[in-house]
Amino acid sequence: MSVCRQNLGLPQLLPVGAKLQIICTQTNPISGSLTASWLKKIPMFNSKRNVAIVCGGNSKEYDISIQSGRVVLEHLDKDKYNSFLMVVRGTDWKVLLEDGQELMVNKNDFSIQHQGHILHFDVVFNAIHGSPGEDGKLLGYLEMLQIPYTGSNHIVSALTFNKNFCKQVVESAGVVALAQGVMLKKGEVLNPEAMVEHLGLPVFVKPNSNGSSVGVTKVKKLEELLPAILNAFNEDEEVLIESFIQGREMGCGVFEFQGKKLVFPITEIISKKEFFDYEAKYTTGMSDEITPADVDEEADFNMKAIASELYSHLGCRGIVRFDFILTDDNIYFLEVNTVPGMSAASIIPQQAQVMGFSLKQLFDMAIENVFTV
């Protein structure tokens, strides 16, 4: 079923749990496939754009980011784009050519020497999970050079990558429930007993700024809490401890394309481990991802409406995924991914396929959106 809202396409939400009336119009699709006539409105260009697909990064998500980058390279329209895979790690930035050559990037102007000429990039496809792509650092550099890129700007990226700050902004929207949490900074006196008294057990201990569940531990016993905190501090200077919410994990993609907000089908994530950790996310057979999720119509609509509202409230741009915990009587915000995985097995491509988009179409839309927003 195609679900959408009237007026500006931004859902006017009732308090969480309230009954929502579903209103559909033809002018504001937020779910479902697009017509071929609408897709033909994507601008075409006589000359090819030079695209830098930036991947890698400085986090433990490096290998996953490389996979995403290679999938984007494989599926970008070769008739429209000259695509280059650029691997960034620390100060080592290089373009990998198909023949095995490695071309160093001139960071003064983000160019390379290619076939005897200086090649400048028209646009960057950001496929870095973690720092410096998902936390806004690279994006600020690109903005200084006035080089357009896919996804949210550097301010939104920095905000959403910081789990504690992001939760505060999400809470201010007043449209979704959040788990109770405690923030810790490295060097503070730790009192595990007081934390358990406040939050109960189990709890999740996670680095405040990290992705792919790196450094995250589910703690069931008091004596496990301190080691989990120290483990998280190995990944970040700040640690977030959150109360456990019993429910089903759901993911929902949102993409505002040429003024039309697309909300993708809901995916249920069923981990075969204790929770959806790094191994469960990236090891074949360790999780089941069901798209569309088997939920009732009201829960489906509410999660889509909340994802749509948070996309606008946070100031997101490009393709973004929101994760929730669905309980019997509420919806809890889990996190937002401004650079979601783009491999064929990742959640966003699965959702796009259900909507009728190929990876070629999806990646083309992501790039062309940069020039039409």
Calpha distance 332→164 (Å, rounded): 15
Q: Which domain holds residue 142?
A: 49-154
Asked if residue 11 belongs to a domain, the reply is: no
Q: Which candidate, 81, 74, 123, 39, places its Cα nearest to that of 357? A: 39
Looking at the structure, tell me whether residues 273 and 163 fall in a common domain: yes
Asked if residue 23 belongs to a domain, the reply is: no
Compute the mean pLDDT over every residue in the chain, rounded to the nearest whole number.
Answer: 86
Question: CB under 8 Å, gap of 24 or more: what pairs does 266-270 form?
Answer: 266/291, 266/292, 266/293, 266/295, 266/300, 266/303, 266/304, 267/291, 267/292, 267/293, 267/347, 267/350, 267/351, 268/293, 268/294, 268/295, 269/323, 269/347
Asked if residue 266 belongs to a domain, the reply is: yes
pLDDT in tens, 30-72: 344 343 333 433 343 348 999 999 999 999 889 999 999 999 9
pLDDT in tens, 119-171: 999 999 999 999 999 999 999 999 999 999 999 999 999 999 999 999 999 99
pLDDT in tens, 312-330: 999 999 999 999 999 999 9
CA distances from 251 to 270, 323, 368 (A): 11, 4, 25
Calpha distance 34→32 (Å, rounded): 7
Looking at the structure, tell me whether residues 353 and 224 fall in a common domain: no
Q: What is the pLDDT of residue 284?
A: 62
Q: What is the pLDDT of residue 282?
A: 52
Q: What is the pLDDT of residue 287?
A: 76
Instruction: Output the DSSP codes for 117-157.
Output: EEEE-SEEEE---STTTSSSHHHHHHHHTT--BSSS-HHHH
Confidence band, pLDDT 50/70/90 cuts, at residue 211: low
**How much of the chain, in percent, has pLDDT values that exceed 90?**
77
Q: Is the pLDDT of residue 7 over 70?
A: no
3-state helix, strand, coil in the chain (%, to 5): 30, 25, 45
pLDDT in tens, 282-302: 556 667 899 999 999 999 999
Q: Is the pLDDT of residue 184 over 90?
A: yes
pLDDT in tens, 266-277: 999 997 766 555
Confidence band, pLDDT 50/70/90 cuts, at residue 84: very high
Looking at the structure, tell me whether residues 133 and 163 fall in a common domain: no
SS3 331: strand
Looking at the structure, tell me whether residues 136 and 190 fall in a common domain: no
Looking at the structure, tell me whether residues 195 and 250 fall in a common domain: no
Q: Are the C-beta atoms of 337 and 157 separated by less than 8 Å?
A: no
Q: Is the pLDDT of residue 27 over 80?
A: no
Looking at the structure, tell me whether residues 102 and 197 fall in a common domain: no
Neighbour-count burial of 165, counting CB atoms closer than 10 A to its CB (0-12 exposed, 13-18 middle, 19+ buried): middle
**Tokens of residue 295, six digits:** 């939920």
Calpha distance 341→318 (Å, rounded): 13
Q: What is the pLDDT of residue 345?
A: 79
Looking at the structure, tell me whether residues 252 and 170 fall in a common domain: yes
Asked if residue 120 belongs to a domain, the reply is: yes
In total, how many domains does the chain have?
3
Asked if residue 91 belongs to a domain, the reply is: yes
Preceding omega of 202 cis (within 30 degrees of 0) = yes
Q: Cα-Cα-Cα-Cα dihedral of 201, 204, 207, 212, to 10°? A: 170
Q: What is the pLDDT of residue 279?
A: 54
In our burial notation (b when 16+ CB lie closer than 10 A, e otherwise), range 108-137 reads: eebbbeeeeeeeebbbbbbbbbbbbbbbbb
Q: Is the pLDDT of residue 205 over 80?
A: yes
pLDDT in tens, 353-371: 999 999 999 999 999 999 9
- CATH of residue 84's domain is 3.40.50.20
Asked if residue 2 belongs to a domain, the reply is: no
SS3 108: coil
Calpha distance 265→342 (Å, rounded): 16
Asked if residue 293 belongs to a domain, the reply is: yes
Preceding omega of 340 cis (within 30 degrees of 0) = no
Q: Is the pLDDT of residue 3 over 60?
A: no
Our CA angle for 256, 258, 264, nearest 5°, is 30
Our CA angle for 137, 142, 148, nearest 5°, is 125
Neighbour-count burial of 27, counting CB atoms closer than 10 A to its CB (0-12 exposed, 13-18 middle, 19+ buried): exposed
Q: Which candidate, 293, 373, 323, 369, places its Cα nearest to that of 49? A: 369
- CATH of residue 238's domain is 3.30.1490.20
Calpha distance 308→313 (Å, rounded): 9
pLDDT in tens, 138-150: 999 999 999 999 9
Calpha distance 238→232 (Å, rounded): 8
Our CA angle for 150, 152, 158, nearest 5°, is 130
Q: Are the C-beta atoms of 321 and 262 separated by less than 8 Å?
A: no
Q: Is the pLDDT of residue 204 over 70?
A: yes
Q: Are the C-beta atoms of 46 and 321 separated by less than 8 Å?
A: no
Q: How far apart are the first and last CA of the chain?
A: 28
Q: What is the pLDDT of residue 283?
A: 57
- CATH of residue 320's domain is 3.30.470.20
Structural domain ending residue among the three candidates 222, 243, 264: 243
Please state the pTM of the whole predicted model.
0.84
Q: Is the pLDDT of residue 110 over 50?
A: yes
